[in-house]
Chain A
Amino acid sequence: MTLIATDVPSPSPEDDRGRQRRRRGGLAGFAVRRLLTGIGTMAFVLVFNFFLFRLLPGDPIALYTRGRNTDREQIAALRRALNKPIGEQFVNYLKNPFSSGVDSTQFSRPVWDVIGDYVWPTLVLLGTATVLSAVIGIAIGIKGGWRRGSTFDRTSTAATLTLYAMPEFWLGMVLLILFSTGVGVFPGVFPSGGTLTPGLDPWSVDGILDQAWHLCLPATTLTLAYLAEYALVMRSSLVDELGQDYLMTARAKGLMDRLVRRRHAVPNALLPTITLVFLNIGFVVSGAITVETVFSWPGLGLLSYQAIRGPDVPLLQAIFLLFSLSVVAANLVADVVVAAVDPRVRT
């Protein structure tokens, strides 16, 4: 009985140098190919985005001037600004896709300025939640998957599935009522929304602590909501690895169970999770509309909602472009990273 199958790919560091070098060359080629495809996708998104918003029905100027004292000449000027010939608009758009030469109709400021105000709170909130949920979720998934059927596995799977099934806004609302308003034994210590207590300097020690304090509830909500995805994917891919021959080999070598898990099973099982993490990073920018709404978190999710409600077409167009580009970019990075750690996908 051959225990060691020679062509079983094993990304452990014991590989010989020559093969490593060849692989690195393959990776560069792969990365360039992916980059070109990515650029192609971005170009398509850029053009599609432009025409998508030209197809929207409705009369934004009439809505904007309803209830205001504007005469026809002013309205005509507003229309002229918004309704330039399509070719001219397209050229302006290509010159600077994020500004398109027309201010946000809702904020009367360049759209890029408006987005700039809202992008940081979103990055902080979603970044924190993504990192926390990935780290905690992967840890739970590893522990549960390795001891499949154990009490920990059953409770953690049930718990994460329950959290996954909960609507985010509902979970947020429950946390808000329990830990902000305070009910019974639960202390109402967290603020009910916003990112900073009015009057504090955001860059002072107090201000930074205060912002961290404001971050607690929304970040916890999102972490809990995102947890299941990582835990379940990690768990199932680890379970897939459990029956593999190379694990039996490792055990046969006399390795400790813990080391078999850490050095052999987990690195292989991590691949789908890595893809998931990077795909989710693409959505970090687009924010979390519902949670941002519950906690009055001034992020891009909320801004996009406001822009749709307007509708603030110039702002909406820039936001959509930003969202699509970040998703395309994150996909690209995910592809390259996965290819870097797993040569099998470099095709």
Chain B
Amino acid sequence: MVLAAAALMLGPLVVDAQSSVPAKAKKVTFTVGIKQDIDSLNPFTGIVASAYEMYQLNYETLTDYSVKDFSAKPALAESWDTSADGLTWTYHLRAGLKWSDGQPLTARDVAYTFNRVRKGKYEQTNFGNYVAAMTSVEAPDDRTVVIKVSKPTPIMLHLYVYILPEHIWKDIDEKKVTDYTNEPTGAGIVGSGPFLVTEHKKGQFVRLRANPMYWGGRPKVDELVFRIFNNEDSLAQALRRGEIDFADDLGSNVFKSLKNAPGVTTFPAKSSGFDEIAMNTGAALDDGTPIGDGHPALKDKRVRVAIAHAVDTKTLVDRVFGGFATAGTSIIPSLYQDLHYDPGSSAYTFDPAEADRLLDAAGYKKAANGIRTMPNGRPLRFRLFGRSNSQNSQQTVQFVQGWLKDIGIDVRSKIVSEDSLTEIIGQGNFDLFEWGWVVEPDPNYQLSTFTCANRSYKDAGTVYANLSDSFYCNKAYDALFTRQSQQVDVAARAETVKAMQKMLYEDAPYVVTAYYDDLEAYRSDRFTGFQAQPSPHGSLLFQYGTHSYRTIRPVTKAAGPKAAQSPRSGLVVGGVIGGAAVLGGLVFLGLRGRRRPRSEVE
């Protein structure tokens, strides 16, 4: 109370003191508020999105994803060519590349990095899929990298492996790398990207400085700061105050509240994530042995399609996502225009009557209690799991429960942690659940979650979850999966990928409910020059590549000082006066108690 009161009294003083500070040539700092701590700065260890943002800022890759449409674009390699059989790839590095410590960046560093991943068990955890097909990586000269692969693969266009400086990392051997934190010292982490991490205060912030050696030229801001907020409301307040310049991953209520904040521009960016209702299409191990206790009716495609007809994705978009989403269809979001399959007129529209008709025709008659039963008399009573850490998930579950009741399906909903749900799914002990995925520009991983081989597996007598969570298994789909994984021609591969999505859409192991937006807001009065990926509706930051960081610039020559972020003189004044007030009060209280000499009273 004392502190608050002191602040109240001192407030104007502090503000005055701050504005009287002469405007020096200040560093231009762009501050991003994030909600997730960086788990590790070692690119072989970290897994969270904020950590990956640090890696790509600090380390360049051979090729980049274009800001326009994710197509392959030169980065460290200025060009590349493929042999006729598609088995030999030659990358030509730019001239004069340098590490931030001044050492030349050569093809040997590139070869070192790829070979390290190929040979290192631990290193493969994050980057194994990029090197899986590689049989040799060599550097015949300083600017040429030759990579041989066992079969043609489109991943060679997007080798998003962060190239590391051999002269630093050669000292961190296989044993040390697992515990290596890669925390910055001195001038920052030695890298080749546009910014270099110079300070990491765990749980609080990461600071990066512009890299003057960057091949694309020095960025237009001097410093980047990523500040960690554990609360969305304080994140929004910090943006309002100008303590930070950018916030993303906001909830729709906070986002709406920022709409009229002065100097702030809100931007609902299309994101690469989707949410779905997944169905147990017949849980089994990768060898086909059935597991779990999924409801047999869900093996029937007609039941799944009826459910797809009964889920009103439009309502979910409006009521659960506050309108900041697009109704979903196939498993590659519409953000990836070239890959997304749009069912068009054959889409499963919201139509409970049609759902009823399908179920009637398939022989699932309604019993007296209004619940449909299988021909063998077993009622259509499904367990639907939602996730305890997601409000959206729980709301979706409630809606779906109501809609399915309307078509005679009894749904028991259960909210569990993601950790428990992972186990329940892996054992096949579910009927329906709500969850989602974030889809990479390369569709391979997402498509692989529906292959027969990625169903659960048994190891030493115990059943473990794998990537498949619907237990979809279709030989024709698997054949197409193998085909797309070897198609280097972008257009031809897109056709295969669309055919696979069509297959999934028709078989309906998932009802994709929504492609949700990433709600972003930034100080447009201070910074400009953001690039959306893909243009023009995609994300402004946290992209595949460091596009916006390289082009953002202050609105005026020197972006105004941030509001009261470090009111040094004000702080001193406030501290002294506040301290004096507290001391004065204590002295006063003390004196009052000892006003009279002891002798007088005893």
Q: Which of A87-136 contact B (CB under 8 A)?
A: 103, 106-109, 117-118, 121, 136
CB 8 Å contact bits of B18-36 with A (1 = contact, 0 = none): 0000000000010100000
Residue of A nearest to B128 (CB): A69
Report which of B7, B39, B426 forms a contact with A59, defined as CB distance below 8 A.
B426
**Which of chain A's residues 37-58 have a Cβ closer than 8 Å to chain B?**
57-58
Contacts of A249 in B (CB 8 A): none
* In contact, A209 and B575 (Cβ under 8 angstroms): yes
Q: Assess whether B422 is interfacial by the CB under 8 Å rule.
A: yes
**Closest beta carbon of chain A to B207's beta carbon, Å:** 5
A187-B15, A197-B565 given; A71·B228 CB < 8 A: no
- What is the CA–CA distance of A293 and B121 in the complex, to the nearest angstrom? 37
Interface flags, A154-195, vs B, CB<8A=1, else 0 = 000000000000000000010111011110001111111111
Q: How many residues of A contact B (CB 8 A)?
A: 81
Interface flag for B234 (CB, 8 Å):
yes
CB atoms of B7 and A70 under 8 A apart? no
Q: Which of these, B11, B125, B243, contacts A68 with CB under 8 Å?
A: B125
Cβ contact of A109, chosen from B4, B125, B181, B438, cutoff 8 A: B181
Give the distance in Å from the alpha carbon of A125 to the alpha carbon of B12 in the complex.
26
**Residues B419 and A63 in contact, CB atoms below 8 Å apart:** yes
Q: How far is the CB of B32 from chain A (nearest CB, A)?
A: 11
Assess the B417–A58 pair: CB atoms within 8 A. yes
- Taking a contact as CB atoms under 8 Å apart, the answer to whether A189 and B15 are in contact is yes
Q: With an 8 A cutoff between CB atoms, is A267 at the interface?
A: no
Separation of A173 and B1 alpha carbons in the complex (Å): 15
A259 at the A/B interface (Cβ < 8 Å)? yes
B126 within 8 A of A: yes
Q: Does A198 contact B227, Cβ atoms closer than 8 Å? A: yes
* Interface stretch (choices A2-10, A27-35, A211-219, A330-338): A211-219
Known: A209-B572, A220-B4. A262 touches B593 (CB 8 A): yes
Our pick among A64, A192, A206, A311 for the contact of B417 (Cβ within 8 Å) is A311
B437 engages A67 (CB within 8 Å): yes
Please indicate the chain A residues that have their CB under 8 angstroms from the CB of B1 in the complex.
Answer: 136, 220, 223-224, 227
Does A282 sit within 8 A of B, measured CB to CB? no
B237 sits at the interface (CB 8 A)? yes
Q: Which of B202, B467, B565 contacts A117 (CB 8 A)?
A: B202
Taking a contact as CB atoms under 8 Å apart, the answer to whether B602 and A198 are in contact is no
Known: A199-B223, A227-B1, A298-B228. 7 other contacts (CB 8 A): A63-B422, A64-B47, A71-B124, A117-B202, A209-B571, A219-B3, A296-B229
A-B pairs, 5 with minimum CB distance: A187-B11, A298-B203, A58-B419, A59-B423, A62-B465
18 interchain pairs, CB-CB under 8 A? A60-B419, A108-B40, A136-B1, A177-B237, A181-B241, A187-B7, A187-B15, A189-B574, A191-B564, A206-B566, A209-B575, A220-B3, A223-B1, A224-B1, A294-B230, A296-B227, A298-B203, A306-B37
B-side residues, CB < 8 A to A, are: 1-4, 7-8, 10-12, 14-15, 29, 31, 37, 39-40, 42, 45-47, 121, 124-129, 178-179, 181, 199, 201-205, 207, 223, 225, 227-231, 233-234, 237-238, 240-241, 243, 389, 417-420, 422-423, 426, 437-438, 445, 457, 459, 464-467, 563-568, 570-572, 574-575, 589, 593, 601-602
